[in-house]
Amino acid sequence: MLGRALRGLLAVMAVTVVLCTVPEAQARPIAPSCQATAALPAASARTGSPEPHWFCDGRIADFRAPRVLLRFDLPRSGPHPAFFTTRAGSFGRIEISVVDRGGTVRSARYTMDEAELIGSGLNFVLPLPEVTDRSDHIVVAMDDGWAAPLVSDARLVASVDEVRWPYETMLALAAICGLLCMPLLFDLAFYRILKAPFLLWHLTSVLGMLALTLVSSGLVLHLADLTLTQVSFLLPLTSCIGVGAAAIFAADLFEKGCLPERTRRLLRYFAGVTVVTSLAQMSRIPALREHGSDIFYLAFLPLIALFCVALAQAIVRGSRAARYQLVACMPLWAVSLQRILTNVGFGDVPQDQIFAFSAAVAFQLVVTSLGAADRFMILKHERDRARAQSLAMEQMAERDPLTGLLNRRAIEARFAELQRQGFDTMALIDLDHFKRVNDRHGHQVGDHVLRVCAQVLRADGDRHAIALRLGGEEFMLLLRGLRARERAEHLRRAITQRVAAEVEGLEAPVTASMGVIEMPREGLEGTTFADLYARADMLLYEAKEAGRNRTMHERLTLFGSGGPRTTRGTAAA
């Protein structure tokens, strides 16, 4: 079943990847011609001062510099650009200067709060100062940037529509988010049945990754009106929730004995490390600006390495759950390593990175859900088997092994509840001269007599009568409903008939004496099983003294400090 589900998932993911392919935009955005870095305020974007060292060979400027300068040479034909755009991220200030061929400069300065986020892809746009036919180039000065994509994705566009991702792409990302909702339902349903902690950690991981996909794709902007500052806060927060919870989920998921306890502890420890580095990234402490992004991304590397070690250890020890984790994590590891390395400066950040990452996240979470479901079924089977064994042991402890009837222990603990259910008649039955049967015919015949007696007292499965064996040749009946005493008397008499019919070789009939108490529905709240048993035993003793093979009964009408008021009677064979 899980194999078919995995094949279906692969088909869905293949369709999603096809949909996520980014088509070529009709209008080509303008990329920077040259880039430079400078210290504040050494360079002036307004004058194009020669102080910065420009490089125009396609290299990406280091975002860690206090100021990054981007020069955009304007084409001589085509529509004029109207907006500066780049990937969402934190920065201190952006100054945009349009330089005309005559030397005229028009400038505009923006803070993060003035940036307009685009809901189709998580980019932001800033309006350019007026661009005319005489404009030669545009210089963008970005101060105190916090992320590499701020520089690598910087472009000029003529329309906001050029920034928006295609409808098909956004639809595919929305489908991925819908796919991520499935594990949430599974986890909630499974947790109601099996209170396993790994289900809650998987639920938390799915929520974190779902939120990360919504935020990083810009879909969240269709649900809430967020600022660039808020989005820059949410990106590391959702990442640490998703990854940290996934690490703890793995630590709890693997079977006992399949993962060393030290590795489990290390997984939880490094999950905590990612939380700390994410908090540092969210805090935007100025002292951390140059290296905060590197620390944030590089902190995931030891966790990935440790996870690989944990999977190897678990698979070698025969873990089923680890195999699911291996299949689930391979695409995500590949995409994550690329994302980490490019964000710390090793190569350019791919434009379609979010598509690959979102698809890998969806694949990982859904496959791990299948692994969690498989683990759930195993644990549920083990729990059900343990419960069945416990129930069997409990039943063995509460039943007489010879006759299969309940014993005193089974009833005494539930006696008050049985009274509330209407069992108001107690009959104590003892076989007369049973010792003679054992002495003359042997214990095997005696055991046969006891089993026949038990079959009689079961009353053909009457749900208004409960039969017990108290020990030796002593039995008890608890009855409710109409004519309870008469029904008990009928069963007492039937013992003699059934034993005579089913047990061969007896020299004399086996009779039974009985003491019966009929209890009132009210007035016995403080009376215990032992109290009523003692009174029934007294009546049984009287029946024995009166000649055996008879019943002594008593109806209790009041049980107060002065003792019960009773109505007594006798029935003989």
Q: Which of 333, 351, 386 is the last residue of a domain?
A: 386
Residues 545 and 460 in one domain: yes
Residues 295 and 252 in one domain: yes
Q: Is residue 392 part of a domain?
A: no
**CA 316 – CA 186 distance, rounded (Å):** 28
Residues 366 and 496 in one domain: no
Residue 129 scores a pLDDT above 90: yes
Residue 333, C-beta contacts closer than 8 angstroms, at least 6 positions apart = 304, 308
312 neighbors 337 (Cβ within 8 angstroms): no
Query: pLDDT-based confidence at 20, cuts 50/70/90?
Result: very low
Which range among 92-106, 130-144, 316-330, 524-538 shows the weakest confidence by mean pLDDT?
316-330
Q: Is residue 527 part of a domain?
A: yes
Q: Is residue 215 part of a domain?
A: yes
**CA 16 – CA 176 distance, rounded (Å):** 8
572 neighbors 550 (Cβ within 8 angstroms): yes
Nearest 10 degrees: Cα torsion 143, 146, 147, 153: -30
Hey, is 550 helix, strand or coil?
A: strand
Structure tokens at 19: 């949909």
Residues 126 and 50 in one domain: yes
Range of the domain at 415: 408-572
Residues 563 and 434 in one domain: yes
Residue 165 scores a pLDDT above 90: no
Average pLDDT over residues 351-358: 67
pLDDT given at position 491:
94
Q: Is residue 42 part of a domain?
A: yes
Residues 38 and 122 in one domain: yes
pLDDT given at position 444:
93
Q: Give, rounded to a whole angstrom, the gap between the first and last alpha carbons of the chain.
A: 66
Structure tokens at 505: 């070789």
H or E element at residue 471? strand 465-471
Hey, is 415 helix, strand or coil?
A: helix
Which residue numbers are catalytic? 473
Average pLDDT over residues 123-142: 93
Tens of pLDDT along 449-461? 999 999 999 877 7
Average pLDDT over residues 302-318: 86
CATH code (residue 90): 2.60.120.260
Q: Which of 386, 417, 447 is the last residue of a domain?
A: 386
Residues 365 and 455 in one domain: no
Amino acid at 48: G
- In this prediction the pTM is 0.59
Residue 146 scores a pLDDT above 80: yes
Q: Is residue 445 part of a domain?
A: yes
Q: Which of 130-144, 239-253, 331-345, 390-404 has the highest mean pLDDT?
A: 130-144
CATH code (residue 432): 3.30.70.270
Residues 455 and 348 in one domain: no
pLDDT given at position 26:
46
Residue 336 scores a pLDDT above 70: yes
Amino acid at 471: G
Residues 526 and 545 in one domain: yes
Residues 363 and 493 in one domain: no
Q: Which of 162, 183, 199 is the last residue of a domain?
A: 162
Total tally of structural domains belonging to the chain? 3
Strands (E), 395-480: 425-431, 465-471, 474-479
Q: Is residue 29 part of a domain?
A: no
Tens of pLDDT along 467-500? 999 989 999 999 998 899 999 999 999 999 999 9
Residues 342 and 229 in one domain: yes
Query: pLDDT-based confidence at 533, cuts 50/70/90?
Result: very high
Q: Is residue 25 part of a domain?
A: no
pLDDT given at position 523:
60
Query: pLDDT-based confidence at 34, cuts 50/70/90?
Result: very high
Residues 115 and 214 in one domain: no
Query: pLDDT-based confidence at 401, cuts 50/70/90?
Result: confident
Q: Is residue 177 part of a domain?
A: yes
| Half-sphere exposure (Cβ direction) of 84: Cα atoms closer than 13 Å | 30
Q: Which residue has the tokens 């086996």?
A: 510
pLDDT given at position 515:
95
**CA 542 – CA 565 distance, rounded (Å):** 18
Which range among 180-194, 302-316, 338-352, 391-405 shows the weakest confidence by mean pLDDT?
338-352
Greater confidence (396 vs 555) lies with 555
